[in-house]
Structures are given as C-alpha cells and as structure tokens.
Amino acid sequence: MLRDEINTALKGAMKARDERRVSTLRLINAALQNADIEAQGRAKPVLSDEEILALLQKLIKQRQEAVELYDKAGRAELAARERGDPVLGPGFPLARE
C-alpha cells in the first residue's frame, strides 16, 4: 500500500537525518490526513492508492506552479529552494506516473 511506503520513507529519512525529505513526507502525510478527514465527512472510505497518487500529483503541480511564480517575481532563492524539494526530484520514490 502506498501509504505504508510513505511512512517507511519517512522513517528512513528521519534515520538519515534528511530534513528536507522529512519535511516533504510530513507535508504529504498531513495532506493525506486532511483528505481522509474530508472523506469521512462525506461517509467515504479512506483514500485508495489511485486517489493517493492523484493527491501526490496535485502536490507536485502546486510546487511547480510555485517555482514559476517565484521566477516571475524575481525570487530566485525561493525558486531554487522549491526546485530542490524532494517531491519534485526524479529520485523521489513515490513520484510515479
């Protein structure tokens, strides 16, 4: 299950003391919890793997849009920080397409 992979990746990042990856994975977990709470309010079950992938794609798109906005505003340091985020990188194990 994808949710288990995210939690395993979070534990590994914590052990490796990779603060950026820990931060990103915690952000993903928070988004998953919010979506689960919203689903419960509509009497739906927890998110499936397909729905989790859709949520991840949404988060990736938000980050890419943020990079574009930072570039347009001349905020190169913030754009570089967003580009360096693990969720945008090709090495991110959960960014399947």
Angle between helices 76-83 and 49-72 (to 10 degrees): 160
Give dist(CA 48, CA 54) in Å, integer. Answer: 10
Query: Assign residue 43 a region: left if phi > 0, alpha if psi is -120 to 50, beta otherwise?
Result: left
| Chain mean position to CA 89 | 11
- Averaged pLDDT score across all residues of the chain: 84
pLDDT at 59 (0 to 100): 87
| Of residues 94, 86, 90, the one with CA closest to residue 23 | 86
pLDDT tens per residue, range 65-82 = 988 999 999 998 888 888
pLDDT tens per residue, range 18-34 = 888 898 889 999 999 99
Give dist(CA 39, CA 58) in Å, integer. Answer: 17
